Amino acid sequence: MITTFITLGVIGWIISLIFGIKTMVDGWRNRDKETFGLGVSTTVIGLIFGLVVGWAILGAMIKTKYIDPHFD
């Protein structure tokens, strides 16, 4: 179970970081300071809260696989 938490946390971090880095690159290419700043803040937030995305995926998986069938 702890391996699942770690794996989903890493997946959440990767998704957040990819989005943040892509936004930074778009801002850099278009010389748009606001978009670049959004990318930087998204990357920082992704580093901090990326694990939460993984936990949300795990919660949805548990709900779909175990909780919903129990009450059907």
List, for residues 33-47, the tens digit of each pLDDT value.
Answer: 999 998 898 888 877
Q: What is the pTM for the complete model shown? A: 0.62
pLDDT band at 28 (very low <50, low <70, confident <90, very high): very high
Q: Is 61 helix (H, G, I), strand (E, B) or coil?
A: helix
More confident residue, 4 or 41: 41
- Could you please report the per-residue DSSP string of 8-47? HHHHHHHHHHHHHHHHHHHHHHTT-HHHHHHHHHHHHHHH
Q: Measured in Å, how far apart are the chain's first and last C-alpha atoms? A: 25
List pLDDT tens digits, range 47-60. Answer: 777 667 667 767 77
How far apart are the C-alpha atoms of 52 and 46, rounded to whole Å? 9
Q: Is 72 helix (H, G, I), strand (E, B) or coil?
A: coil
